[in-house]
Structure 1
């Protein structure tokens, strides 16, 4: 599952973890991305110290034996982590799906956790690039699911997603226990407060947030990439 940050990505990971037949991996390339780029993120030292930072080893893990003897393996990937110097060959052995959210909502949510985000921080450019790459070598557009559709009708949206993946939907995906999860990355205390208070998908969101000029500029830059994927959503 490829998305930018603040895209309902953790909640969707929890939904798949709740199935009972699915191992999950939270942002496999995060530590490798931080080590390679030198970028400063909250909890950077802890992330690099506690997670694999060799991108080749991470990629091997993505296509290796599924953990915990499960039959399915859900990987929550951030598009911004897949920087050009990382080999993307492993993606050809996975079912790649793209999770989207309106950039105004992403920027508003992200800025609450890390001030001054840039266009490249929120992952829309990279998401569109990865989408094109997958479509080119697979011969067809990969599945796209919109977080707004999930929140509007979780059962319907996840049923369609599971059908696109050729796996059965289960009601277990609609709820999970409140609180931190064993699958959380070490960064969870900074980023996952709201989803830790949840026990399922939240209700639909209201009007788009109003942003200051600097943040609105980022939204305007991201919109064409978002709209490109909207055209393919299931």
Structure 2
């Protein structure tokens, strides 16, 4: 029997260079919502040994044992809020990490055309692999949730959100069981205390924003050296985009 007073924990699964931080800003601007920024990042860096920007600061800022992270994200909601929006990167979930904790989450998936992701990521970090972008892990997590629910969970294409923020956020809120709040459409500029320490390197654009950027039609230019990475990400993206929310 479900507890009607239990908090709603939203796990938004995406890869990097999406609109994931803008989505976090949107939910944080709700008075009823706490947010968490990539809580598994330090554990991921610590275990993989990968050299990311601000690696040392990231590792020092969060638990490095994935089990401790799970205890946190399934524990008491910050400030006792009724909604907890958790921004998760799919590639942070290493193969040996247990996933049973996700069964109690409202799991949602945020996707973006890999051509734009590859081009944007390469501008911030020269080395890029398909694993860095998380598409294959995202489809594994998606399939797991589908098996658990017997139906597809919410999938948002970032371009759709930018084209129609109110419509897409309203549809998402309906799917996770919370009312839409117009406060989600705009927020004050600048960094947040809730941002990960890595925001100093990655969040310049979103820190300058006060809402979702207007959508503009453009073509992403994928460097020739990264075309194999782009092509490797196409199949999982094309599978996920078939399930995207449409309003």
Q: Do 1:7 and 1:101's aligned partners in 2 also have CA atoms closer than 8 Å?
A: yes
Q: How many residues align?
A: 234
SS of match in other structure, 1:211? coil
Q: How far apart are 1:141 and its partner, in Å?
A: 1.3
2:80 paired residue among 69, 76, 79: 69
The within-5 A match list for 1:91-110 is 91-110=102-121
| Superposition RMSD in Å | 0.9
174-183 or 202-211, larger mean C-alpha shift: 202-211
Per-residue CA deviation, residues 125-169 of structure 1 (Å, 9 max, x unaligned), is 110111011111222211101110110010011011101111100
- Partners of 1:135 and 1:9 in 2: how far apart? 22
State the TM-score, normalized to the length of structure 1.
Answer: 0.98
Give, in whole Å, the separation in 1 of the partners of 2:178 and 2:24. 16
Alpha-carbon distance, 1:113 to partner? 0.8
Cα distance in 2, alignment partners of residues 210 and 106 from structure 1:
10
Match of 1:83 in 2: 94
User: In the alignment, does 2:235 pair up with 1:220?
Assistant: no
1:73 partner SS = strand
1:51 has 2:51 as partner = no
SS at match of 2:60: helix
Instruction: Verify: 1:207 aligned to 2:214, yes or no.
Output: no
Contact conserved, 1:22 with 1:71, CA < 8 A, in 2? Answer: yes
Flag structure 1 segments of 5+ consecutive residues without an equivalent.
Answer: none
SS at the partner of 1:151? helix
Q: Does the 8 A contact of 2:119 with 2:223 survive in 1?
A: no
In 2, are the aligned partners of 1:148 and 1:205 still within 8 Å (CA)?
Answer: no
Structure 2 spans left out of the alignment, 5+ residues: 1-11
> 1:216 offset after TM fit, Å?
2.1
Contact persistence 2:162–2:213 (CA under 8 A): yes
Summarize deviations over 1:55-86 as a string: whole Å, max 9, x none.
11111111111111111000000000001111
1:23-55 CA distance string (max 9 Å, x none): 000001000001111111111111111111111
Pairing partner for 1:15 from 19, 23, 26: 26
